[in-house]
A and B are shown apart, each in its own frame.
Chain A
Amino acid sequence: MKSSPGADPILMKCEHMSCSYGGAPVIENVDISINRGEFIGIVGPSGSGKTTLLRALLGSIKPVHGKVERLPGLRLAYVPQLETVDWNFPVTVGEVVGMSRPQRLMRPKSQNSELALIEDVLERLGLGGLLQRHIRELSGGQQQRVFLARALIQKPDMLVLDEPTAGVDVRTRHEVLHVLADLNESPPHGDGIAIVLTTHDLNGLAAHLPRLVCFNRTVIADGTPAEVLQPYFLERTYGAPMEVLQHGGMPVVLEQGGDELRNRLNRSNAS
């Protein structure tokens, strides 16, 4: 796979990709490319195939039609939805982060250099001193960062997150977004990791991202939030009419019947 001269290299490219779990295709004719250092949000209703798209990007399911091309040697890491984690599993923070590292023959325990590496990653994510804590004993934001730490220790070029802010409070959402923004920022300040995430949160998360993909079994729209968060695309994506207002230079999406919120925003803009 080649990139045009001067452009950021393409890490991954899907062409006319369709995927299924044995029956009818869950996602169809998907065309998407991801460049190094990009930060992409995928939005769509429940059951629209967002998680299937992530699985196809990660290579855990193979397309039945079309193709996925990855940059040779591309390192991918995945952060699952917290809702899928078994919080009663007997595993400490250190064990979660260490399990993704390759093991030296007959030496399952982390040696000093590896332990230092794990502690560095945890420290960086604000989890210093929690190595021996059970994962259930952490706050929502800390739990999300533990799984980010497990992904980061694999030194990925591209990080894929499934609903990283689902079921978390506003403060935790901000924490997670700040961490992701730092990771995405170009070196030397950040790591320049490409990030792809799915979200239901149009106003709190998606509208703040540099690139957004509206998805419902296929790509409906792909561009900046200003280009993509348009009533026409949103209705095609969610199957229901939606309104988009501007507030402080940001698009705000309203469901039909959002009169009260629209009035408040209008009053706020007027003042």
Chain B
Amino acid sequence: MKPSEPADAPLLQARGLAFSRNEEPVFGPLDFELRPGEALLVLGGNGAGKTTLLRVLAGLLDASGGEVRLQGRPVDRDHLARGSAYLGHLPGHKGELGTLENLQFAQAINGGAPADLEQALAEVGLAGYEDTPARRLSAGQNKRLGLARLRLQSAPLWLLDEPYANLDLDGIVLVNRLIQEQVARGGAVLLTTHGAYAAPPVPVRTLALGPSRRPA
């Protein structure tokens, strides 16, 4: 970030952000902003467009209207993709490879500070699973591997799609702790959930997406 920019500039700012698929609106237009050190909880039922919103913000989809600013600058899809770390419904790693091998690959293509990968695995509760192929892990353990990958990326913005899904109580505490750390180092987190049953212990804004307007 350039020193001339005000310290409290929103990390992420959306104005009139909307997405339609085949002329049918999925969400929006939405206005929201997210400052460093904040978490934004996106609420909404099934089909409300939470995942779509996250995929637009991650740069995986093109918005059909509106503008997104990252650190005060209007950005396109490619910039979004580089400025954020995304944890979606898919595991994002190979089932045939061991957990450590998967992390090594993610670390190499994402850059970020050099880190002790075994330590990173231990921190998400996967100590002792270093050589286990990811396909032998449970759904919750796969999520934990995704969290380890996320933690290693130094992206200022985290986009978490249903991070609490499949996790046990311990895992929910883990997600909350990781969010807390990210927020403490001046990052921001945008997460979706269909029920605010496990809100992270940090300043949280909420954004409610309406029910789907698509005809049944």
Q: Do A and B bind each other?
A: no
